[in-house]
């Protein structure tokens, strides 16, 4: 491939999608010495303004992009990992999971009142069933308003007084470089775990992509992130629940161990079922290989099978505790 021929990166048209895709494009260009151009693609989730809980979260942002990739309209894709269905389509592969951004949620308010202290009837904007269930627990006297829209429009609804608060992903604010005079409350993962894959990106290409492209993408991979999100997505898959299920899962790799927190929430009510466990990983493999080796992790000591086992075990434990009774089926 000529060094002057751009590599085509398929991305959604939103400002956030293009910001995070631009970061990946710059990183890959630095690795391979090729220019990378963004190819904007409109997904169903961008055109259908209905609530995500109504149209279903499974693939509404990813399907059209994947069709474009398989049709040869682009060479690879960048997704927000939390928006991807857990089933991997035939012919496609997640070639890299770059280092994860802050996975927490944040509450944005005008005056800095903590979420749990909002007055009775205060309006909190969010469209995610998981966040809705968490708001009901943290601020039971508040009113949840189902909203869609980009980050700027959500911030504007708080600034104007239309809403008292909105809940956003810290990673999205960081990637956009959003600067606002509004107040920000970070929600700790211990009491407010977030969606599987939140804060992480998935770099996807075809299984028959050129070796040089696969090798270049592999250098963007971060092994601890890949381990963590694999566990989280295995929990989601094991529960047989979609991306919009009222559940949270967060895994954090520290040295040779991984801590896993997962919670399933009753959509309307106070019930929740959760686990908090710490499991051992193959620390020698992690120390030897570090980050940036996703495509080369074919080793007897590869920690990924262990990550899959941990995720499936966590899902099984949740189901034993009765999680299936709280989850809608897609």
pLDDT value at residue 1: 57
Confidence of residue 149 (pLDDT cuts 50, 70, 90): confident
pLDDT tops 50 at residue 294: no
Whole-model pTM: value is 0.89
Confidence of residue 295 (pLDDT cuts 50, 70, 90): very low
Give me the catalytic one of 110, 148, 272, 317. 148
131 is catalytic: yes
Residues of the chain above pLDDT 90, percent: 77
pLDDT tops 50 at residue 299: no
Confidence of residue 2 (pLDDT cuts 50, 70, 90): low
Homologous superfamily of domain range 7-101+196-321: Periplasmic binding protein-like II (3.40.190.10)
208 is catalytic: no
pLDDT tops 60 at residue 201: yes
317 is catalytic: no
The set of residues, in sequence order, having a beta carbon less than 8 Å from that of 189 and lying 6+ positions away, is 103, 104, 250, 252, 261
- Contact (CB, 8 A) for 55 and 48: yes
pLDDT value at residue 48: 46
Distance of CA 103 to the CA centre of its chain: 8
302 is catalytic: no
Q: What is the CATH number of domain 105-186?
A: 3.40.190.10
pLDDT value at residue 262: 97
pLDDT tops 70 at residue 104: yes
- Contact (CB, 8 A) for 167 and 123: no
pLDDT tops 80 at residue 269: no
82 is catalytic: yes
pLDDT tops 60 at residue 51: no
Give me the catalytic one of 8, 66, 100, 130. 130
Secondary structure (DSSP) of 32-76: HS--EEEEEE--HHHH--S-HHHH-STTTTTHHHHHHHHTTS-SE
325 is catalytic: no
Collapsing DSSP states into helix, strand and coil, what is residue 275? strand
pLDDT value at residue 285: 58
Please tell me the distance from the alpha carbon of residue 44 to that of residue 131, in angstroms, as a whole number: 22
Quickly tell me which residue has 């094991």 as its tokens.
238
- For 63, counting Cβ atoms within 10 Å of its Cβ (0-12 exposed, 13-18 middle, 19+ buried), the class is middle
Confidence of residue 289 (pLDDT cuts 50, 70, 90): low
- Contact (CB, 8 A) for 105 and 187: yes
Please check whether the two domains, 7-101+196-321 and 105-186, share a CATH topology.
yes
pLDDT tops 70 at residue 44: no
pLDDT tops 80 at residue 296: no
pLDDT tops 70 at residue 43: no
pLDDT tops 50 at residue 298: no
How many residues would you count in the chain? 330
Give me the catalytic one of 82, 157, 226, 233. 82
Secondary structure (DSSP) of 159-185: HTTS-SEEEEEHHHHHHHT---SSEEE
Give me the catalytic one of 64, 100, 131, 157. 131
Give me the catalytic one of 75, 83, 164, 222. 83
CA angle 8, 20, 159 (to 5 degrees): 140
Please tell me the distance from the alpha carbon of residue 252 to that of residue 144, in angstroms, as a whole number: 30
270 is catalytic: no
Domain ranges within the chain, ordered by starting residue: 7-101+196-321, 105-186
Please tell me the distance from the alpha carbon of residue 164 to that of residue 111, in angstroms, as a whole number: 9
pLDDT value at residue 260: 97
pLDDT tops 90 at residue 321: yes
């Amino acid at each position: 491939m000529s060094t002057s021929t751009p590599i085509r990166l398929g991305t959604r048209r939103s400002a956030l999608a293009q910001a995070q895709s631009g970061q990946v494009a710059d990183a890959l260009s630095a690795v391979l010495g090729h220019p990378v151009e963004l190819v904007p693609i409109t997904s169903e989730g961008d055109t259908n303004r209905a609530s995500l809980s109504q149209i279903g979260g499974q693939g509404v942002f990813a399907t059209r992009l994947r069709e474009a990739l398989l049709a040869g309209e682009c060479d690879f894709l960048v997704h927000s990992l939390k928006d991807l269905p857990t089933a991997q389509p035939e012919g496609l592969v997640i070639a890299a999971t770059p280092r994860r951004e802050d996975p927490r949620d944040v509450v944005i308010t005008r005056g800095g009142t903590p979420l749990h202290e909002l007055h009775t009837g205060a309006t909190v904007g969010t469209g995610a069933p998981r966040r809705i269930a968490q708001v009901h627990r943290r601020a039971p006297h508040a009113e949840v308003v189902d909203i869609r829209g980009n980050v700027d429009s959500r911030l504007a609804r708080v600034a104007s007084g239309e809403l008292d608060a909105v809940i956003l992903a810290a990673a999205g604010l960081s990637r956009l470089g959003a600067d606002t005079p509004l107040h920000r409350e970070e929600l700790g993962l211990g009491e407010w775990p977030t969606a599987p894959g939140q804060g992480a990106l998935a770099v996807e290409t075809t299984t028959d992509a050129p070796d040089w492209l696969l090798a270049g993408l592999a250098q963007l991979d971060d092994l601890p992130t890949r381990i963590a999100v694999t566990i989280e997505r295995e929990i989601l898959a094991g529960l047989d629940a979609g991306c919009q299920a009222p559940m949270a899962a967060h895994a954090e790799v520290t040295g040779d161990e991984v801590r896993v927190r997962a919670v399933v929430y009753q959509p309307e009510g106070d019930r929740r079922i959760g686990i908090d466990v710490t499991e051992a990983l193959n620390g020698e493999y992690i120390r030897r290989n570090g980050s940036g080796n996703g495509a080369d992790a074919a080793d007897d000591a590869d920690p990924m099978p262990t990550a899959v086992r941990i995720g499936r075990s966590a899902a099984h434990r949740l189901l034993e505790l009765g999680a299936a009774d709280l989850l809608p089926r897609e």
